[in-house]
Amino acid sequence: MNFEILKLKTDGAVAVVTISRPKSLNALNTQFFHEMDAMIHHVATLPEVKVMIVTGEGKAFVAGADIAEMVDKDQHQGTAFSRLGQHTFRSLEKMAMPVIAAINGFALGGGLELAMACDFRIAADNAKFGQPEVNLGLIPGYAATQRLPRLVGLANALYLLMTAQTIDAAEALRIGLVQKVTQPENLMEEALKIANTIAAKGPKAVRLIKEVTRQAMFVPFDEGQELEALRFGSLFGEGNQGEIGMQAFLKKEKPVWE
């Protein structure tokens, strides 16, 4: 597939996907969702890539969904547009590799929903966050009602969803919506530093941490800890990653992951 909205750059073990519709503040439209679906599948096939970063070009990460495309939709088409975005963001969330959102500028509406589908978020200190759909007489369509309370708690989520308040990066950090705030000029450097730190760890362990920890959000505790035990055990044994890491530790050497 030819990508018109998305740009891909690989830097060693890290893939950087940039949303490039700067004139519309990277607003999400049908073409974006189809391109992102294709990009997710493409990056997953790159053997050298262990971490993916998603960011936006220009003044915004993503300022929302494309209202010009949405305005004439009927009820059936609105539901279909919601399901399209939900499918894409769920596919992003389910990638085996970690996905980091590097948030520059506005992350509003669908943009915040995209960021929340990533595993964690690094923000420039001038970034702005919000779910303003209620201002248009709408509700979020790409699972903000599901992800936001899981990230910041029910009351914080309902407050943001019902008031449509825009918050700054410091407040987003305080409530746990983002994990780190940095100067705008250092955003990508910081995101790449974190991505490369993760990429240097045991690759199978990183993937299993994502799998087991995300499952913990949806299954009973006992079921989750049993999955943890099984995945923990899968890393042991001759030639397995755990043996490589533990042997290197005992020898005071740096592990060489297979």
What is the set of active-site residues? 113, 133
The angle at the Cα of 62, spanning 144 to 77, to the nearest 5 degrees, equals 60
Q: How far is CA 2 from CA 17, 41, 47, 119, in A?
A: 14, 14, 21, 26
| Contact predicate 21/60, CB 8 Å | no
**CA separation, residue 165 to residues 5, 105, 137, 144, 243 (Å):** 29, 16, 15, 14, 50
Dihedral angle, C-alpha 138, 142, 147, 152, nearest 10 °: -50
CA distance 200 to 197: 5
